[in-house]
A and B are shown apart, each in its own frame.
Chain A
Amino acid sequence: MKFDTAMTISTVSLERTMMVDMKKVTALLQDVVSPSRVTDRDFDLIPYSRDLSPAEQKMPTHVVMPETKEEIQAILRIANDHEYPVYLRGGGTSHWDAYLPQEPGIMLDLGRMNKVLEINERDLVASVQPNCTWAKLDRELRKKGLTYLCSEAGGPAMTVGGSVMKAGGGPHSTAKFGFHGNQDIIALEMVLPNGDIVETGSAAWPSAGKFKRQCLGPDLAGMFIGAEGILGVCTELSLRIRPVTDISERLTATMKTLDDVIEFGHFINRHVGDEYMQGIYLWVDPSAPDVFFLMMDIFGYEQEIVDHRKKKIIEKIKELGGEIGDRAPADDYFGRILTGLADLFNTGVWHFFGAGSLRIDDITFLYKVWREEVIQKRGYTKAGFGGQILPRDWLAFMVTNYREPDDWKELVKMADEIDEITLNGPVVPYGIGGRDGLRRFVAERDTGYYRLLKTLKKTLDPKNILQRGIFIPEEEL
């Protein structure tokens, strides 16, 4: 292998890696899973060295495909014995370097832990293994007239485990249900870095079942959701499901000002928010930065109710001076982004930046950064601006396509500068990730939250073997 790993990791880490007997690690891993599910061959490692983000390439030393939690326990035991890091791979579609090996280490490819374990139609709970994709789960649920509703962009390849472990949300999230961090995640089964197995929610009580998120003491599921795998390996998730909605309507509108969009957002929040409506989705194209295009799906179980909501929405849009438009562009957009990713990469690889959660009123801040800093000051006219209300806040972003390798350096520099500006404002980062993600912004702030997170990490993972360098730089521990 010709990769110069020393270029991307610290000297201490490199020395420690060099002290590890790679062949011995390979043999030990082959002992606990079958040899056919362990590889240390360079060409097998390379595909695990990048994700959907422009993060620098980072090579693991081994890839292992576990099939059971017991195998994961055994792998973590080996990692602890050798103080050797373990990284996690779901669909490999992280946008911010959250699942790439920040140091040479063992990559767990969870691809074979992809089953729908149970669909409990009585309690309306589905249990899946982490690498089950949203699309696979939904396909199985719909056979029974059920659905999960809340899923995110990224296409059907996105896995449930990867998505929940980073508290994902997106254009398929709904006004009522929002992010995965909401109560729709009922129970998790996690293998801790020390090999202990933890079940959360009602599943924590050995003689009960999987039916409720918050019932025994603190909500430990909430501790794991969004932790990007640094506190444990998720081996099973139980989700709240519901009957499919029979009635749906799709609307588009064009608003004259961003203030009108904000007012409309509050209207949705107050009057429609606690209903089955997908959060309004805003898109501003760089070629027309004063045109605020909204897309929205309304869905429900009764035509009368859907009609009523639709009427109220149309009235409000008209009151605000907006114009109801043709639904075809929205069909095209949602069709592409949710079910096909069609044409998304025609003009280059995708990257989100300047992204995060913010109050409905604060969208003007992010818009101003996009317009003034990205378009006007830097002359970068390829990035669009968008977001959605989920329902009480925005998940907003800037997104562009760029050509690798030619545009990569310029893109990364620009995105980094914009992230700096954005996160100094009222924006909470959507994902954290590794050294090419946003972890430095978290560390710089040294908040009580961050200190507690570090304490938890040190307690649960004293040798820092799991997702080392993700979220928390190693030197911070």
Chain B
Amino acid sequence: MRIEQYKDMIYACGRCEFCRGFDYNDRCPEIFTQHWESSTARGRMAIARAILEGNLEYSEDLAERIFGCFMCGRCREECKKAAQIDVIEITKAMRQDFVEQGVQIPEAGANMAATVTSSGNIFADPPKEHNRWAKELEFKEGSGTLFYPGCLASHRFKEKTNILVRLLQAAGYRLDFLGDDQKCCGTPYWVTGKMENAKEYAEAYLKKLQSRRVKEIITPCPSCFRAFDEEYPHLLGMEKLPIRIRHTSEVLLEIIDQKKLNFKYPVNKKITYHDPCEIGRYRDIYDPPRAILNSIPGIEFTEMSRNREHAFCCGGGGGCKIMFPDYSQRVADERIRDFVETEAELLTTICPACEMNLTHGFYEADLDTRVLDIAEIMAVSAGLVDSEILESDYFPED
């Protein structure tokens, strides 16, 4: 069993329940949606221990508890203060155990991984659709700096992605793009535990990138960022991938710091920021997005009550958006309540998955405002895009 390798951590759980938090709804989105203690990190460690001791078996019913984790890392953050249990790695190992033992996992999760294998992206879209956002943009094949949007940015946020690339290019970045050759980074494999082809997939992808002389990848997607920067080296037994991986949060701040563009148009809005789990808690990237927003003229920046390492998940993580859409929606609603409390006019973030789930949440809540990527705010201030995109009545074509 995959969880054997985490035996010491599983037994290290002191059962303090700090992972659960002050209240059932303030930290963990899984207990917020599923209520039972089996939904907390403490509960999961108890379950893992029972499995290790032969007192419990993986079952189809159990899948809801293990695959219903949003992998937001909030419990892991708390456990850093107590027993330093890597709940996320243990959860991934449990999901892999499900698959390897032939126990039924949520159908949508299994389908998502299968779709990546068969079509190269999670939406099973054809390459023409896949590249529509790049229409009228020019790329420099072999420039060494690959722009890698990932599935969500390619397929669901065409305008946002187009604006991001225009911003990067205006700032002088010579970007390459894989075009029809672009495929999913592989995140659905490790999120759903379907790891049978993951290593070969990563190997082939790295080979493809190297043959194209890619020296650096810039991606707006925290999952893709972590896939290349963390999962690939792990799968391939490398300390580091021989390619520099950068999330746009770092690159966009570079544009500000190095004054690569002139941000002369004020954005006179009260704006707040949602910390994506996978760059926040996973990678401690909290300051760059805030520094960017604070450097744009006109912005009145305000924090949500739960921010930085305490930020509540958007509901889009861990594959829950696909496997448990109702839970995902409920978590988005809760996060949107944090936004509403701020009385901000715009919600910004820097993750396509968060943008999608929170946008869906806004539709559901019928809120008269928008979720924007930080790059869109920058593009407006730099005069690259009309400020109409800031308005609540603006509706992008995609």
Let me know if B50 and A46 touch, CB within 8 A. Answer: yes
Residues of chain A from 172 to 210 with CB closer than 8 A to chain B in the complex: none
Residues of chain A from 228 to 263 with CB closer than 8 A to chain B in the complex: none
Question: Is B43 in the interface zone, CB < 8 Å from A?
Answer: yes
Let me know if B35 and A111 touch, CB within 8 A. Answer: yes
Residues of chain A from 84 to 100 with CB closer than 8 A to chain B in the complex: 89, 91-93
Residues of chain B from 153 to 188 with CB closer than 8 A to chain A in the complex: none
CA A336 to CA B59, docked complex, whole Å: 38
CA A154 to CA B14, docked complex, whole Å: 11
CA A439 to CA B302, docked complex, whole Å: 54
In the complex, chain B residues whose CB is within 8 Å of the CB of A70: none
- Nearest chain A CB to B51's CB is how many angstroms away? 9
Residues of chain A from 29 to 62 with CB closer than 8 A to chain B in the complex: 37, 39, 41-44, 46-52
- Nearest chain A CB to B57's CB is how many angstroms away? 8
Question: Is A2 in the interface zone, CB < 8 Å from B?
Answer: yes
Total A-B pairs in contact (CB under 8 Å)? Answer: 121
In the complex, chain B residues whose CB is within 8 Å of the CB of A91: 17, 20
- Nearest chain B CB to A4's CB is how many angstroms away? 9
The 8 Å CB contact of B14, one of A37, A47, A350, is A350
Let me know if A65 and B83 touch, CB within 8 A. Answer: no
Residues of chain A from 325 to 367 with CB closer than 8 A to chain B in the complex: 336, 340-346, 348-350
Let me know if B15 and A343 touch, CB within 8 A. Answer: no
Let me know if A157 and B16 touch, CB within 8 A. Answer: yes
CA A41 to CA B21, docked complex, whole Å: 24
Question: Per-position contact with A for B18-61: 1 when CB-CB < 8 Å, else 0?
Answer: 10111110000000000111101011001100100011100101
In the complex, chain A residues whose CB is within 8 Å of the CB of B61: 41, 43
- Nearest chain A CB to B14's CB is how many angstroms away? 4
Let me know if B82 and A345 touch, CB within 8 A. Answer: yes
CA A41 to CA B304, docked complex, whole Å: 38
In the complex, chain B residues whose CB is within 8 Å of the CB of A155: 16, 18
CA A397 to CA B305, docked complex, whole Å: 38
Let me know if B62 and A50 touch, CB within 8 A. Answer: no
In the complex, chain A residues whose CB is within 8 Å of the CB of B20: 91, 157
In the complex, chain B residues whose CB is within 8 Å of the CB of A92: 15, 17, 37, 42
Question: Per-position contact with B for A103-134: 1 when CB-CB < 8 Å, else 0?
Answer: 00000010110100000000000000000010
Question: Is A405 in the interface zone, CB < 8 Å from B?
Answer: yes
Let me know if A342 and B82 touch, CB within 8 A. Answer: yes
The 8 Å CB contact of B11, one of A48, A112, A405, is A405
- Nearest chain A CB to B384's CB is how many angstroms away? 43
DSSP majority for the B interface? loop
Let me know if A2 and B82 touch, CB within 8 A. Answer: no
The 8 Å CB contact of B35, one of A37, A154, A342, is A37
Question: Is B65 in the interface zone, CB < 8 Å from A?
Answer: yes
Let me know if A114 and B16 touch, CB within 8 A. Answer: no
CA A75 to CA B53, docked complex, whole Å: 33
In the complex, chain B residues whose CB is within 8 Å of the CB of A47: 36-38, 40, 42-43, 46-47
- Nearest chain A CB to B116's CB is how many angstroms away? 29
Question: Is A271 in the interface zone, CB < 8 Å from B?
Answer: no
Let me know if A42 and B56 touch, CB within 8 A. Answer: yes
In the complex, chain B residues whose CB is within 8 Å of the CB of A42: 56
In the complex, chain B residues whose CB is within 8 Å of the CB of A2: 54-56
In the complex, chain B residues whose CB is within 8 Å of the CB of A63: 36-37
CA A348 to CA B12, docked complex, whole Å: 6
| Closest Cβ neighbor of B50 among chain A residues | A46
The 8 Å CB contact of A133, one of B16, B23, B55, B65, is B23
CA A39 to CA B61, docked complex, whole Å: 12
In the complex, chain A residues whose CB is within 8 Å of the CB of B18: 155-157, 340-341
Let me know if A3 and B16 touch, CB within 8 A. Answer: no
Q: Which residues of A approach B to under 8 Å, CB–CB? A: 1-3, 37, 39, 41-44, 46-52, 63, 65, 89, 91-93, 109, 111-112, 114, 133, 135-136, 139, 154-157, 336, 340-346, 348-350, 403-405
What 15 new A-B contacts, CB under 8 Å, besides A42-B56, A46-B47? A1-B56, A37-B35, A46-B56, A50-B46, A52-B14, A65-B35, A93-B17, A133-B23, A154-B16, A156-B22, A157-B21, A340-B81, A344-B82, A346-B83, A350-B14
| 10 A-B pairs with the lowest CB-CB distances in the bound complex, closest first | A47-B43, A345-B83, A345-B14, A342-B81, A47-B37, A47-B46, A157-B17, A136-B22, A135-B22, A340-B81
Could you list some 21 contacts between A and B, CB below 8 A? A2-B54, A3-B55, A43-B38, A43-B56, A43-B65, A47-B37, A47-B42, A63-B36, A63-B37, A92-B15, A92-B42, A114-B23, A133-B23, A341-B18, A342-B81, A342-B82, A343-B81, A344-B14, A344-B16, A348-B12, A350-B16
